[in-house]
């Protein structure tokens, strides 16, 4: 996403392979941006809940200003999970039936509530984007918002099968197991924390499909070393005080993600 006239700048990659994520255009100094303040807080925390949360998110390397179209753009420097991948598979899952903050204007809340009804109302999350290397057909596929808006509670399982390259069979199982273990850690954290409620926040799933190209005979350890599967929480511009309550809105979607990955895994052949 780039439009110099409108001041729109998308995510960029630093020469060292990390990501540069532009923040709110109105923020010229780091602590003026809500997401930067959040990352600064958890990255330097001593509190156990925040320290654990920092392990469930991308690594944060501070901020950097980048000159784009004759203006300075303030960016967060973040871990890039897909750096070095040959065939990156990336699934962005926006969590929750409700994605607007409690103080948002009613018109804004209604507009947000009207999006992605096929999945939000059934599984508690939406799919804004997905990039997959289809191993069977040796082709890279990218799906944007129209794809996610067309999904419903049944077809979303097919989207997960596509993302995980289920037709490759038993070789996919270690990737599913690793993602499930990481998603389980996130779910465990949500079950214990009562500090935050997250709106318009996402879970990112990634792996390198090149690990599935080598054919049979590879050990699970070899597949995992090549695939480098990752499940992390991202997007924290709207972290809200939970006031001692669980974030049921987020956790409903998270548990359905776990269920869907489990269904794909359980349908795979064992050898």
Is residue 152 predicted with pLDDT exceeding 80? yes
Q: Which of 55, 78, 101 is the last residue of a domain?
A: 78
Cα 191 to chain centroid distance, Å, stands at: 19
Mean pLDDT of 55-68: 94
Quick: pLDDT tens for 205-262: 999 999 999 665 678 899 999 999 999 999 999 999 999 999 999 999 999 999 999 9
Give me the domain span that covers residue 155: 88-266
Is 21 inside a domain boundary?
Answer: yes
Same domain, 175 and 95: yes
Predicted confidence at residue 216, as pLDDT, reads 58
Read off the pLDDT of each residue in 102-112 and give the average, rounded to a whole number. Answer: 90
| pTM for this model (two decimals) | 0.94
Q: What is the pLDDT of the chain when averaged over all its residues?
A: 92
The answer on pLDDT for 150 being more than 80 is yes
**Does 216 or 268 have the greater pLDDT score?**
268
Segment 175-199, tens digit of pLDDT:
999 999 999 999 999 999 999 999 9
User: Is 271 a member of any domain?
Assistant: no
CATH of the domain at 169: 3.30.470.160
Q: Buried b vs exposed e over 47-62: b needs ≥16 C-beta within 10 Å?
A: eeebebbbebbbebbe
Q: Burial level of 237, CB count in 10 A (0-12/13-18/19+)?
A: middle
Is 31 a residue whose pLDDT tops 90? no
């Amino acid at each position: 996403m780039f439009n110099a006239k409108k001041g729109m700048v998308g995510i960029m990659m630093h020469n060292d392979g990390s990501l540069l994520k532009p923040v709110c255009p109105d923020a010229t100094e780091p602590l003026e941006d809500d997401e930067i303040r959040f990352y600064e807080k958890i990255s330097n925390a001593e509190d156990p809940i925040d320290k654990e949360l920092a392990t469930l998110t991308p690594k944060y390397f501070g901020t950097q200003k980048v000159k784009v179209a004759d203006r300075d753009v303030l960016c967060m420097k973040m871990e890039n999970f897909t750096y070095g991948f040959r065939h990156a598979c990336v699934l962005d899952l926006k969590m929750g039936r409700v994605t607007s903050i409690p103080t948002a204007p009613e018109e804004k809340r209604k507009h947000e509530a009207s999006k992605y009804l096929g999945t939000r109302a059934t599984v508690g999350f939406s799919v804004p984007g997905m990039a997959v290397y289809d191993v069977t057909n040796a082709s890279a596929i990218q799906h944007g918002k129209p794809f996610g808006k067309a999904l419903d509670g049944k077809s979303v399982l097919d989207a997960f099968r596509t993302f995980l390259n289920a037709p490759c069979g038993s070789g996919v199982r270690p990737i599913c197991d690793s993602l499930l273990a990481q998603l389980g850690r996130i779910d465990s954290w949500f079950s214990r924390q009562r500090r935050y409620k997250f709106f318009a926040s996402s879970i990112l799933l990634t792996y390198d499909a090149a690990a599935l190209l080598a054919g049979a005979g590879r050990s699970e350890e070899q597949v995992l070393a090549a695939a480098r599967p990752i499940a992390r929480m991202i997007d924290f511009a709207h972290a809200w005080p939970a006031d001692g309550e669980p974030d049921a809105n987020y956790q409903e979607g998270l548990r359905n993600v776990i269920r869907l990955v489990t269904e794909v895994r359980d349908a795979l052949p064992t050898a």
